[in-house]
């Protein structure tokens, strides 16, 4: 593999753009496939139900454009594990088993085409357990050489904390609203921007269990009356562009580490095999 | 329900555009949800693997724009049942059980939000059996009042046959290429447009079994060497626009029949119940 | 394979008639296995719930008798996908997943014994989607060389249309009643023969969706008050014998095409492999 | 319920013989449904692979004819759990999960039609565990008032031991061959009748584990070289008729006990409820 | 394999006691793994819900201690198939499919580590069908050379019948209470020891069906008012020790037969293979 | 509920110790059930494969003893999700779906008996995703009022970091070894205590992905040559007792918060309902 395969490219490589012969030609140059996973779930009055899909997909595209042809982007999974938001209109959740099956089907077929490294980029916290389960099952059952996940929202929140007041950070908050305003402006609802209306219930329980690696299973209407936990009123498209730009650069750095260390691991394994023979 | 809810609207109503409170407000006016189902599968050298998703989604949006706020469009399912194309690079199929699970999750949650009528608009022939299974299971298990499917490609082919030579009609052919050129031009590959290279094997078998309501399970490489069965060389964006326009008008007419007869069936049922009491 | 293996035989080859050593001896001569799939569902007042099993099984036996030892008949599956008839007494449906599992088990084991070509002969329209799903899964998962299906009722209806008035054709109608009278006379109920009592609801919807390759999921009591859509009053055993005889001859012709083209496909593949070596 | 509903009848009541309205009329009189379960598995050189289906079905019909209209017979399940016979040609096994699903579908739908008591009559020992699992799941999940099973072969063997030498008793032996000769003579192969050729391996292990309520999972080719464990040479149709007659009378006696005690249990429960009010 | 590997050992070999390298070292010496399966279900007023787990585990440990390092004991499965006891407080049942999955996971992984022979020792009658299904599926799907089961309670009851009056034998009776008193005295409740309070319903039905290899699916509250069918009042720890000692000796004898005959079967197979080459 | 139900008790309340009537009597006093989940997986040369089960179970017992009769402990699940340790001898993993099923069965039945609040205490990091999935599915599907999880090892590591050098903390390290020495001394192997032998591969990748809420799916032999990542040489039983004592006190504090806030949430909900009426 030569350095040129990781050169900068202005446009991301999207699998959905390619014909089959084009895919065939590019396969040897693709070192990593990003699989964005979103959600179709309520985000309070501030932003559309497609928010997490927008942010995961935009983050993958931006990072892939930075890295170049070595990284391809699969079509985003436009729903996620959102059972806890079902009492708010518009939420379309997948069962955990359905999301796992979709990921198995996507990665399994691309692996069959010869691709070897996969990074699931997740836009919705509720997906984390199902995605972890899926990547571990895929690793064990299919023997895929590299399969990993990253919580894309953590990358966005990291940037947002430098650009927005603390109360803006949260579900349906200013961090997410800014990204939507930057990418799909008609899916942000600035005239309805509002602060969250929290129930205040079981706050210490949830924090304690999370601090000790656990979870309190709750419906979101047990958490917030208006569906949001962040305040969107400080969001702007410009801030959204800065968030996305910073998060994409960080993701590109992570990808560089992933590929470099995976190459090293492959060489280490080949070396061990070489010694044996 | 008043006629005004079915007035013309310039833009289709997309569920993904709405916030949760917006969805809540519109729920009483939505009489039907269109669920586009596509595929991510090889279409020969002519067009991108996303072709069937593009056409199903474009058809739903165009028809929904014609019908107005009474009809909403769910996010397209961007993969389908494409196991038979797996030997062509780039194909990402879902197992039949996965597609059925996704449809159950989508319709089940929207039904929970109060929506009552659903039309699956399918862009890929390979999906038909799984979709039929899904809509029947949803009808039986959930008691959804109206759930139906239509093969969107049949609507497109009907138009294309009036605008293109017979050899253009087929998988990866001029009919599909024209639609892609009209909607997502960068996903058509005119410089690679080619005629199909059929194997000529088991042609009579497949035709006979199809004529008598059956099927011959075949991988697509047993059918065609280059992945296409239609000739794309006569396609153009202008023809694509005409195909899509005609097909959307026809779909809007079908929707009108579906809604009118469903109203009548509801009244008939209410009448029978009324008589009893 | 010699022509004599396809000579006429007075009796069909039934797998259920054979001992294990007899099966072992015949295996090299069996080129195709017919798998009849029926239903156990209401057919109005005219005929027994076993009608579709009777017709699928009788059709397979008659065609196999015409073709000779090259074609064996598996035991009929005596139930099908009949959830929509459940409000009529006596219907015993399988879930779609159950029917698929049964077909996988039957074909999978026979494939393990060395048989290579399978034709599912389906007597009940409600089974078509599950059977299509099953044959495609079997093709993909097991690599069975030839697995296909035909809708046996389409063969019967083709004949019946030439022998009976149009209103006789339909569920529980004269076409089906005639076949039952010919094969299992005590399962026809001529003293109860009646015309269908249709609800008249959603007729255009169902026809339109079917015309465009789709389906309207409906319970059968939404279609007809007495469970039938065809008029049985013109049926007779003699007409049944003519229907069955014509349909079996047509099925035998189809089988001849299937086997001839499958042989050609095998030779073509062998030729391609030969060239390579 | 009057005594006349349990009067003798020359013909058994078969669900497959009835139209839907006939079923509707008879439903109040049917106190018990017999569900015969067979197998499609090798029985050595002596008899056809359908032996266990023949014997279970014949036993149900004969017992139902003795008991009268209070007992109906469902269509026989013509395959069973026979994975251990797969190395002998012709065996078609169901997975355990498939057999359980079929039983759930059959009993679940008949329970939905209003039937309340079910007795699975099993012709094949390999089915016992799956049937026990099925009847317990059906009892627990559906709340069916009475669901039970009996091993029909145990009834046959009980008679056979009085009519045949000890070495005749066993898989593919004289007891089973005699029943086949009596019911479906062309499925017995007297010219091939032979003694079993046992491997003699693990005999004490199997016997000890069975004596202490356990099982040794073995393929049948680990047990016998020719697929049989009983000697068929002493079988005759006349003995088969006597076996079947005796077994059917015993089954009818068991059914009488089942129904009498079930009535008593219902009354006891009603009494307890009555006291409370 | 030498005789010394089967020498007496004072302590049983428990897999849970070992580190991974210790396991690695012992693997070549382990000829059989015992897998105890218990239950967590009501046993009337007399003994704790963990009774069947206690007895299966104690029996395995005692027998393994007698046999020596050739036999290892896996961690006990502390629940079983107890749906029928759910109306009595404290019962925690597994679904049959869950128990089967647990057994597949345990045996499958140990087989992957190189172990080849497995004996499931079952403490609860309600588990027998699920365990039989599991061991047959494991044999067929994984090809495990030896997988078998024994009903440990049958071994216990055999001893108890020699030491206790007949009315003591039964669910929650003196036989089980004695074993609990011997092993986990605080889980016996002598101050609450009582005779069973049977309903007397369907007694002949249950006995008849059992005598003919079948089963009557019943909830346990249909059988007994206080949850027990045996009388615990004659139980003592001393009798429990005698029961356990006798049962363990019998199990050790069975294990000796199992291993001796399995060795012979392996040699026989090797001989056949040797002849062929 | 009175304060006395939460008084100190010297012994923990174990469900396995109780008879059914004892359980029935205690049900109204039990406010929370702890469900320990462990693993049966390699922990390097230092400690037995049962380490995580020991620590989860000991932690639950110690905390329950501190809290009193308001908290009951279910039998520990003695295996977990350990596919990544399979190349080290002795590991017995459950599939994720099996662990989820076991948790559903346990919590579902206890909920059926009237218990309302459940805390899964997990001893093994590999279980976290499956447990999160399970508790969310149980919350959504069964409507259990309170179901949550905590990673018990996080509680142990928190204490251990104050008592042991940094290099002792890790898989199979001094923290875990100390706890085993305190609880089940024969399952620690001090003569084999060793430092970990890490591969050094993909260290930055794993850390980065973890820092951003993701995961790198890896087999453990890709991480460490001897199966451990912590150094056990500084462990002692006394330190183990201190770790366990501190962790149990912290868990008891968490439980107090969980119960207090759950009471408040119930009152809040009751208040809202009261206002409506």
Query: Over B175-221, what HEC string results?
Result: HHHHHHHHHCHHHECHHHCCCCCECCCCHHHHHHHHHCCCEECCCHH
**Nearest Cβ partner of C268 from B201, B204, B265?**
B201
Chain F hits for A140, Cβ within 8 Å: 83-84, 217
Asked which of C147-161, E95-109, F4-18 is least confident by mean pLDDT, the reply is F4-18
E positions 193-212 inside 8 Å of F (CB)? none
Looking at the complex, report in whole angstroms how far the Cα of residue A233 sits from the nearest Cα belonging to chain F: 26
Q: What pLDDT sits at residue D39?
A: 98
Chain F hits for A154, Cβ within 8 Å: 211-213
CB within 8 Å: E151 and D83: no
Using an 8 Å Cβ cutoff, are C84 and C59 in contact? no
Q: How far apart are CA F94 and CA F52, in angstroms?
A: 14
Where are the alpha helices (H) located in chain A, listed in sequence order?
20-26, 51-67, 96-112, 128-142, 152-163, 174-183, 203-211, 237-276
Of C15, A141, B207, the closest CA to residue F219 belongs to A141
* CB neighbourhood size of C143 (10 A): 10
Instruction: Report the relative pairing of strands C71-73 and C13-14 from DSSP bridges.
Output: parallel
Chain D hits for C39, Cβ within 8 Å: none
Q: How far apart are CA A39 and CA F214, in angstroms?
A: 17
D positions 230-259 inside 8 Å of C (CB)? none
- Would the pLDDT of A42 be above 80? yes
Q: How far apart are CA C19 and CA D50, in angstroms?
A: 9
Q: What pLDDT sits at residue A273?
A: 63
Give the mean pLDDT of D23-44: 98
Looking at the complex, report in whole angstroms how far the Cα of residue C277 sits from the nearest Cα belonging to chain D: 34
Chain B interface mutation, best of C148, C198, C248, highest count of B Cβ atoms under 10 Å? C148
Q: What pLDDT sits at residue E5?
A: 39
Instruction: Report the relative pairing of strands C146-151 and C117-122 from DSSP bridges.
Output: parallel
Mean pLDDT, chain E, integer: 94
Residue D198 CA to its chain's centroid (Å): 26
Pick the residue from chain A with its C-alpha nearest to F120: A214
Give the mean pLDDT of A203-216: 98
Using an 8 Å Cβ cutoff, are E205 and D257 in contact? yes
Q: How far apart are CA A63 and CA A71, in angstroms?
A: 9
Q: How far apart are CA B112 and CA B127, in angstroms?
A: 25
Place of tokens 């939404």: C222
Q: How far apart are CA F94 and CA F37, in angstroms?
A: 12
**Nearest Cβ partner of B90 from A48, A95, A113?**
A113
Mean pLDDT, chain B, integer: 94
Query: Which two three-digit tokens encode residue D76?
Result: 């026989």
pLDDT digits over F214-272, tens only?
999 999 999 999 999 999 999 999 999 999 999 999 999 999 999 999 999 999 988 77
- Touching partners of E (3+ C-beta pairs < 8 Å): D, F
Of A173, A234, A164, A163, the closest CA to residue A198 belongs to A173
Using an 8 Å Cβ cutoff, are F181 and F236 in contact? yes
Q: What pLDDT sits at residue C270?
A: 82
Q: What pLDDT sits at residue E273?
A: 63
Give the mean pLDDT of B124-136: 98
- Would the pLDDT of D9 be above 50? no
Q: How far apart are CA D17 and CA D5, in angstroms?
A: 19
Query: Which two three-digit tokens encode residue B237?
Result: 């964006």
Give the mean pLDDT of E62-86: 97
- Does A20 touch chain B if contact means CB atoms closer than 8 Å? yes
Instruction: Report the relative pairing of strands D13-14 and C13-14 from DSSP bridges.
Output: unpaired
Using an 8 Å Cβ cutoff, are B228 and B45 in contact? yes
- Would the pLDDT of B99 be above 90? yes
Confidence label for D193 from pLDDT (cuts 50, 70 and 90): very high
Using an 8 Å Cβ cutoff, are A147 and A135 in contact? yes
Q: How far apart are CA D49 and CA D42, in angstroms?
A: 5
Confidence label for F274 from pLDDT (cuts 50, 70 and 90): low
Looking at the complex, report in whole angstroms how far the Cα of residue C13 sits from the nearest Cα belonging to chain B: 23
pTM, rounded to two decimals: 0.96
Give the mean pLDDT of F113-126: 98
Q: What pLDDT sits at residue E69?
A: 85
- Does A155 touch chain F if contact means CB atoms closer than 8 Å? yes
CA distances from A88 to A40, A82, B112 (A): 12, 11, 11
DSSP state of B44: T
Q: What pLDDT sits at residue D161?
A: 98
Place of tokens 């016992």: D128
- Does A48 touch chain F if contact means CB atoms closer than 8 Å? no
Give the mean pLDDT of A10-32: 96
Using an 8 Å Cβ cutoff, are E51 and E176 in contact? yes
Cross-strand pairs, C73: C14, C34
Where are the alpha helices (H) located in chain B, listed in sequence order?
20-26, 51-67, 96-112, 128-142, 152-163, 174-183, 203-211, 237-276
Percent of chain E's residues with pLDDT above 70: 94
Where are the alpha helices (H) located in D124-236, listed in sequence order?
128-142, 152-163, 174-183, 203-211
CB within 8 Å: A205 and F148: yes
Q: What pLDDT sits at residue B6?
A: 37
Pick the residue from chain B with its C-alpha nearest to C205: B258
CA distances from E274 to C11, D220, E267 (A): 45, 22, 10
ipTM over 0.85: yes
Place of tokens 């071994």: E155
Q: How far apart are CA A121 and CA A37, in angstroms?
A: 6
Q: How far apart are CA D223 and CA D227, in angstroms?
A: 8
Q: What pLDDT sits at residue A270?
A: 83
Q: What pLDDT sits at residue D275?
A: 54
Instruction: Report the relative pairing of strands E71-73 and E146-151 from DSSP bridges.
Output: unpaired
Determine the Cα angle at B170 with ends B169 and B176, to 5°: 80
- Would the pLDDT of E181 be above 50? yes
Cross-strand pairs, D119: D34, D148
pLDDT digits over C143-166, tens only?
999 999 999 999 999 999 999 999
Place of tokens 């609990």: E180
Confidence label for B273 from pLDDT (cuts 50, 70 and 90): low
Q: What pLDDT sits at residue E139?
A: 98
- Would the pLDDT of B133 be above 80? yes
- Would the pLDDT of B153 be above 90? yes
For residues E176, E181, E186, E189, the Cα torsion angle rounded to the nearest 10 degrees is 60
Looking at the complex, report in whole angstroms how far the Cα of residue E19 sits from the nearest Cα belonging to chain D: 31
* DSSP per-residue string spanning chain D: --GGGG---SS-EEGGG--HHHHHHHGGG--EEEEEE-----BTBTB-TTHHHHHHHHHHHHHHHHH-TTEEEPPPB--B--GGGTTSTT--BPPHHHHHHHHHHHHHHHHHTT--EEEEEE--GGGHHHHHHHHHHHHHHH--SEEEEEEHHHHHHHHHHHHS-GGG-STTSHHHHHHHHHH-GGGB-GGG-----B--TTHHHHHHHHHTT-EE---GGGTBSSS-SS--TT--HHHHHHHHHHHHHHHHHHHHHHHHHHHHHHHHHHHHHHHH-
Chain D interface mutation, best of E119, E205, E260, highest count of D Cβ atoms under 10 Å? E205
Q: How far apart are CA B192 and CA B194, in angstroms?
A: 6
Q: How far apart are CA C187 and CA D15, in angstroms?
A: 10
Q: What pLDDT sits at residue B271?
A: 77
Using an 8 Å Cβ cutoff, are B47 and B113 in contact? no
Going by C-beta distance under 8 Å and a sequence separation of 6 or more, which residues neighbour residue D182? Answer: D58, D237, D238, D239, D240, D241, D243, D244
Query: What's the Rg (C-alpha) of chain D?
Result: 20
Confidence label for A75 from pLDDT (cuts 50, 70 and 90): very high
Q: What pLDDT sits at residue A26?
A: 98
The full length of chain B comes to: 277
Give the mean pLDDT of B200-227: 98
Q: What pLDDT sits at residue F234?
A: 96
Q: How far apart are CA B26 and CA B276, in angstroms?
A: 34
Query: Which two three-digit tokens encode residue E92?
Result: 């925690």
Confidence label for F275 from pLDDT (cuts 50, 70 and 90): low
Q: How far apart are CA C158 and CA F144, in angstroms?
A: 57
- Regarding chains F and C, contact by 3 or more CB pairs under 8 A is answered as no
Query: Which two three-digit tokens encode residue E110?
Result: 């140990």
pLDDT digits over D231-262, tens only?
999 999 999 999 999 999 999 999 999 999 99
- Would the pLDDT of E102 be above 50? yes
DSSP state of D137: H
**Nearest Cβ partner of E261 from D140, D201, D219?**
D201
Place of tokens 């090259």: C70
Query: Which two three-digit tokens encode residue E93?
Result: 């049942």
pLDDT digits over B214-266, tens only?
999 999 999 999 999 999 999 999 999 999 999 999 999 999 999 999 999 99
- Does D265 touch chain E if contact means CB atoms closer than 8 Å? yes
Going by C-beta distance under 8 Å and a sequence separation of 6 or more, which residues neighbour residue E25? Answer: none
DSSP state of B137: H
């Amino acid at each position: 593999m030569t350095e040129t395969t990781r050169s900068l490219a202005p446009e991301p490589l999207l699998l959905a753009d390619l014909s089959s012969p084009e895919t065939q030609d590019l396969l040897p140059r693709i070192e990593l496939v990003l699989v964005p996973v979103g959600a179709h779930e309520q985000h309070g009055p501030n932003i559309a139900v497609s928010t997490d899909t927008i942010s995961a997909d935009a983050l993958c595209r931006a990072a892939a454009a930075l890295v170049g042809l070595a990284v391809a982007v699969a079509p985003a999974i436009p729903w996620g594990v959102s059972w806890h938001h079902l009492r708010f209109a518009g939420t379309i959740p997948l069962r955990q088993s359905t999301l796992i099956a979709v990921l198995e089907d996507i990665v399994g077929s691309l692996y069959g085409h010869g691709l070897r490294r996969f990074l699931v980029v997740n836009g919705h916290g509720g997906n984390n357990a199902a995605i972890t389960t899926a990547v571990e099952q895929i690793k064990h059952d299919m023997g895929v050489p590299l399969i990993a996940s990253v919580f894309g929202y953590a990358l966005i929140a990291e940037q947002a904390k430098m650009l927005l007041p603390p109360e803006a950070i949260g579900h349906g908050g200013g961090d997410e609203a800014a990204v939507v305003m930057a990418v799909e402006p008609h899916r942000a609802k600035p005239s309805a921007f509002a602060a969250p209306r929290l129930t205040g219930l079981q706050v210490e329980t949830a924090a304690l269990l999370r601090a000790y690696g656990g979870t309190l299973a709750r419906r979101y209407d047990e958490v917030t009356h208006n569906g949001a936990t962040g305040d969107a009123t400080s969001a702007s498209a410009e801030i959204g562009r800065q968030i996305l730009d910073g998060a994409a650069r960080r993701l590109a750095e992570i990808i560089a580490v992933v590929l470099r260390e995976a190459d090293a691991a492959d060489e280490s394994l080949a070396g061990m095999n070489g010694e044996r023979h």
